[in-house]
Amino acid sequence: MPDDHAAPTTPALSRRAAVAGAGAAAVGIGLLAAGCSSGDSGSGSGSGGGATTGSSAAPSASAGTALGPASSVPVGSAALFADQKVIVTQPTAGTYEGFSSTCPHQGCTVSEVQGAALVCPCHGSTFGLDGQVQKGPATRGLTPQNVTVSGDRITLA
Ligand code: FES
């Protein structure tokens, strides 16, 4: 009976597949933990920066990710790119700054743009176009995210 040879190989293969799957899951958890710990350590006091934003913050989306049109960011205000969790401000014409939209207080999304104020709807923390705290309960500013503008396209740098 040729079927006797085929039958025992199937359970052996599925056992191996299960082991491989468990290994992959462990790697995934490790990556997540690494992401959390690096985000916590990014509270360096700036390096006297210029127009481009700092270098110590780990971006939540990868470099090169397109955010949207620069024309959607009003001068003297900001726009939220919700899918990428990034806020882009334009304090003066042609100067763009990017920030994580994750509130440093308890992690809500800073989703309300009221003129030059970025407001977290959870507890009312308010940030300026430079990402700094204007009103608590948050005690530190938004995490900078490097962005580049080419033509009318804003991209994570
Ligand atoms: Fe934003 Fe509390 S989570 S103010």
Do strands 147-150 and 153-156 pair parallel, antiparallel, or not at all (unpaired)? antiparallel
Q: What is the DSSP string of 64-120?
A: T-EEEEGGGS-TTEEEEEGGGTEEEEESSTT--EEEE-B-TTT--B--EEETTEEE-
Q: Is the CB of 79 under 6 A from ligand 1?
A: no
Q: Is the CB of 102 under 6 A from ligand 1?
A: no
49: DSSP letter: -
pLDDT above 60 (res 46): no
Instruction: Provide the pLDDT confidence category of residue 136 given band limits of 50, 70 and 90.
Output: very high
Please give the distance, rounded to the nearest whole angstrom, from the Cα atom of residue 80 to the centre of ligand 1.
16
What percent of the chain lies above the pLDDT cut of 90? Answer: 59
Residue 68's CB: how many other CB atoms inside 10 A?
18
pLDDT above 70 (res 89): yes
Q: Is the CB of 137 under 6 A from ligand 1?
A: yes
Give the separation between CA 123 and CA 85, rounded to whole angstroms.
18
Q: Nearest to residue 87, comparing CAs of 72, 121, 140, 57?
A: 72
Atom of ligand 1 minimally distant from the CA of 138: 4
CB 101, CB 111: distance < 8 Å: yes
Task: Read off the pLDDT of each residue in 71-85 and give the average, rounded to a whole number.
Answer: 96
Residue 17: its pLDDT value, please? 40
Q: Is the CB of 122 under 6 A from ligand 1?
A: yes
Q: Is the CB of 129 under 6 A from ligand 1?
A: no
- Which residue lies with its CA nearest to atom 3 of ligand 1? 106
